[in-house]
Structure 1
Amino acid sequence: MISQKKVDDLVQISLITDAYCLGSHWVYDEKQLKENDLDWNDLNSPLAIWHKGKQKGDFTHYGDHTLWLYEFLKNKHTFDEKEYAKYWQEQMSTYTGYIDGSSRNTLENIENNVFPCGSDSSDLSIIGRIAPLLKVSNSKEEFLQNVEKFVKVTHNSKKAIIASRFFAMLLQEVLDGNDIKSSLLKVQNLFDETVQGFVKQGLESKNKDSFISIREFGPACDISEGFSGVIHLLSKYDNLKDMLIENAKAGGDTSARAMICSIIFMANNSINNLPQNWFLINKKEIIAELNN
């Protein structure tokens, strides 16, 4: 469907973005967001207690899970969600990072032989992890099918399935060489009034301050809060660095918003536009592998 090099770039940018967002991820207090020692031009150690043990250059659990999907798909030509669920469960059995509600509930479902095993979570974060699926998708329709199967493994809710399909279709449009704005307008027409409302809100906020807009939409994890924030960022910025910095300054679920934004923005842009110090993540072997 697209070149292997482009897929690797999209996986890489999603991981780099997640590492960049670690510093202010899940920080909600506005005073703390405005008064801290974070260097917005660099990677940072996390402020939030939820990431205890994480260091500058590490991923949040979103990046960790994205890397698992990438590793699982190595040397594969198709995506088997049942096999992936087993692999994911094995990774979780020794995982020392944050275990969120969707993961806890999914593990319970696996233990109880429930399939699809995903929780009923409608967290936005699952969508930013889909880039590795391009490796094993030979058509647009297969990619959409793989995205839905993947999402259901841990986030088996109607909201998550619909939102992930929207952003997967948007990604495809931009990968075809179309600009983001026209792609947004085209794809939204294929969805219901709820999705169109999220898009409308995001587009109408284009000229507003990002901190204010994201806080008004809601900076937390649910799709109902983060969807319009993603649209705001994609419609407002034509520079990925500026987009990611302003998103990070708004706090909350910074990485969920940014990982979606970065893969869509980078679909027809060069990964080399980001500062080189942002590439200095702690899993250097992954960056080296994705660059080969």
Structure 2
Amino acid sequence: MFDQKKVKNLVLSSLVADAYSLGAHWVYDEKQLANESIDWNELNTPLAIWHKEKKAGDFTHYGDQAFWLYDFLKDKDSFDINAFRDYWFTKMETYEGYIDGATRNTIQNIKDGVTPSGSDSTDLSVVGRIVPLLKVSKTKEEFFQNVKSLTEMTHNSQKTINATRFFAKLLVMALEKKEIEESIEEIKHEFDTTIQGFITNAIESKDADTFDTIRSFGPACDVDEGFGGIIHILCKYENFKDMMICNGKAGGDSSARAMIAAAIFMANQPISQIPQKWLAIKEIIE
């Protein structure tokens, strides 16, 4: 069983990362990213029209779904994917946040009785939602199976399943106090040559500028673009705040990158790494 206090802190870390990312999430234009209305030291109201009903301190739709899983599991000691799918579907019926393509297609698959219900999306966002599963996973193997089930529920593509498995393994190794870059190198050969290529390029970029690097890899949602950016910021930064700010300034799907990186980075760091004023969301998960 994973340490429950640590799991709670990692859930908090990933949700803080999402809330921090809201301000510039899905902003791709460099002029908008340089907009003086963004204070990179604070939680910001969103610039993107897709989050127009949100305010500073809120989650993106990624964070909302991660919190739903955390809330669902509060009184559970195991993960029932069918029960969670029904819970998720009910929440989506009245959800007022952004409904992305993976979600729309998953909703239709559930209505059509498709199992697993996931879309064929190759987006990375679901990886950032896996942390609450540590609460109800008694072994590493159970965690990995729970992660696979969660992924297939909304993102049933082999590309996303592989990416989620990689980051789940890396998260567990970080919880075991293993150094992140060494762990990445250790497990990369368990994965296909595409993922190995992402890793090689990302590690080689760790001394380069983060804005330029993420822009060169691609700042968008897909595994092909986002995977390398996550590895880059994990290998480059030794401070949570710096990592979040530089990732946020690169724009695009900053939340997916931030949620994944935050959980892995904070697995062997004290919660004091997170700026106190970003912890305004803390009471949400108490």
TM normalised by structure 1 equals 0.96
Task: Give 1:2's aligned amino acid.
Answer: F
Root-mean-square deviation (CA, aligned residues, Å) is 0.8
List alignment gaps of at least 5 residues for structure 2. none
**SS in structure 2 of the partner of residue 151 of structure 1:** helix
Q: In the alignment, what sits opposite 2:37?
A: 37
List alignment gaps of at least 5 residues for structure 1. none
Q: Which aligned runs of 4 or more in structure 1 are off by greater than 6 angstroms?
A: none
**Deviation of 1:285 (Å):** 3.3
Distance of 1:199 and 1:80 partners within structure 2: 33
Instruction: For residues 140-190 of structure 1, give each alpha carbon's deviation from its aligned partner in whole angstroms, at most 9, with x where no partner exists.
Output: 100000000000110000011000000000011111110101111111121
Q: Does 1:170 align with 2:142?
A: no
Distance of 2:175 and 2:190 partners within structure 1: 18
Instruction: For residues 111-144 of structure 1, give each alpha carbon's deviation from its aligned partner in whole angstroms, at most 9, with x where no partner exists.
Output: 1011100000111111011000001100010000
Aligned counterparts, 1:244-259, within 5 A: 244-259=244-259
CA contact under 8 A between 2:2 and 2:137: conserved in structure 1?
Answer: no
Distance of 1:279 and 1:174 partners within structure 2: 22
CA contact under 8 A between 2:173 and 2:183: conserved in structure 1?
Answer: yes
Task: Give 1:188's aligned amino acid.
Answer: K
Task: Give 1:286's aligned amino acid.
Answer: I
Q: In the alignment, what sits opposite 2:152?
A: 152
TM normalised by structure 2 equals 0.98
CA contact under 8 A between 2:202 and 2:229: conserved in structure 1?
Answer: yes
Q: In the alignment, what sits opposite 2:136?
A: 136
Instruction: For residues 179-205 of structure 1, give each alpha carbon's deviation from its aligned partner in whole angstroms, at most 9, with x where no partner exists.
Output: 101111111121111111010111011
Q: In the alignment, what sits opposite 1:241?
A: 241
**Deviation of 1:74 (Å):** 1.5
Q: In the alignment, what sits opposite 1:205?
A: 205
Task: Give 1:222's aligned amino acid.
Answer: D
Distance of 1:234 and 1:48 partners within structure 2: 26
Percent of residue pairs identical: 59
**Deviation of 1:83 (Å):** 1.0
**Deviation of 1:219 (Å):** 0.2
Q: In the alignment, what sits opposite 2:283?
A: 285
Task: Give 2:14's aligned amino acid.
Answer: S
**Deviation of 1:274 (Å):** 1.4
Distance of 1:35 and 1:250 partners within structure 2: 13
**Deviation of 1:36 (Å):** 3.2
**Deviation of 1:231 (Å):** 0.5
